[in-house]
Amino acid sequence: MKTALVTGAARGIGLATTRLLLEDGWRVAMIDRDAPELARAAADLQNILPVVCDVSIPEEVEAMVLRLAETWGSRIDALINNAGVAEFGPMADCDFAMWRRVMETNLDGVFLVSQACAPMLKEARGAIVNIASISGLRASTLRVAYGTSKAAVIQLTKQQAAELGEWGVRANCVCPGPVRTKLAMAVHSQEIIDAYHDAIPLNRYGSEQEIAEVIVFLCGEKASYVTGQVIAADGGFDSTGVGLPALRE
């Protein structure tokens, strides 16, 4: 049975990815720092190993990977770095504490978990899928920390692909467009939701399932010659350039 590790697995895109991997016959280490939410998510699932861990804390990450190795052995076939936080605000209001809160999960977390899992990924000739965002591809107001953290995840993915390819390890990045998760709903007002609908060619938000499908494809054999790539699952938002609603019919 193939082993996957999903961070931020307690809800949203991480939980949808976990469910899809389980349906496809994987076993999944579900990692999250929110213990009650993780317990709720794990309650009705089989072939999982829920581990409470904050991905931004090196000691917790080391202990989590050790626990996984002791439970299921020293192979990881797929690592999905999905845990993320969003805090939006004008540049002038983004103090260093806010900058660090965003960077420590969105960027440091991806670095730390990937470093800790690298030997087990090499053992399995496995795959890394990092979750960035359209905010890492297109700049916008209010996202000085979030957008920068996600752009860095895109570059980190390419670094990983360049260096780990020698061991048969692939690394790819998925950039979701807006999805109605708890993370997004905390920072998207009705006005923002309407504006996204106007600016996105498919005229709607994506679902957790639609993002998970792309992630699971990149984890598996069907993507065996795909590495170092950045795939936006965003209803066309990234491709539109001057996507002015006023220029539409």
| Number of residues counted as binding ligand NAD (CB under 6 A) | 30
> Does 109 participate in binding ligand NAD (rule CB under 6 A)?
yes
> Does 32 participate in binding ligand NAD (rule CB under 6 A)?
yes
> Does 50 participate in binding ligand NAD (rule CB under 6 A)?
no
> Does 235 participate in binding ligand NAD (rule CB under 6 A)?
no
Q: Judged by CB under 6 A, which of 6, 10, 28, 219 binds ligand NAD?
A: 10
Provide the strand spans (E) within 98-239.
127-131, 170-176, 230-233
143 by Cβ neighbours in 10 Å (0-12 / 13-18 / 19+) ranks as buried
41 Cβ neighbours under 8 A, 6+ residues apart: 9, 10, 11, 15, 18, 30, 32, 50
> Does 34 participate in binding ligand NAD (rule CB under 6 A)?
yes
> Does 148 participate in binding ligand NAD (rule CB under 6 A)?
no
> Does 103 participate in binding ligand NAD (rule CB under 6 A)?
no
> Does 178 participate in binding ligand NAD (rule CB under 6 A)?
yes
Tokens of 90: 């004008």
Cα dist from 233 to 59, 131, 200, 215, whole Å: 33, 11, 11, 10
List the catalytic residues: 146
Q: Judged by CB under 6 A, which of 3, 133, 160, 172 binds ligand NAD?
A: 133
Dist. CA 201–CA 212, nearest whole Å: 20
Residue 116: how many CA atoms within 13 Å on its side-chain side?
24
- Contacting positions for ligand NAD (CB under 6 A): 7-8, 10-14, 32-34, 37, 54-56, 82-86, 105, 109, 131, 133, 176, 178-179, 181-184
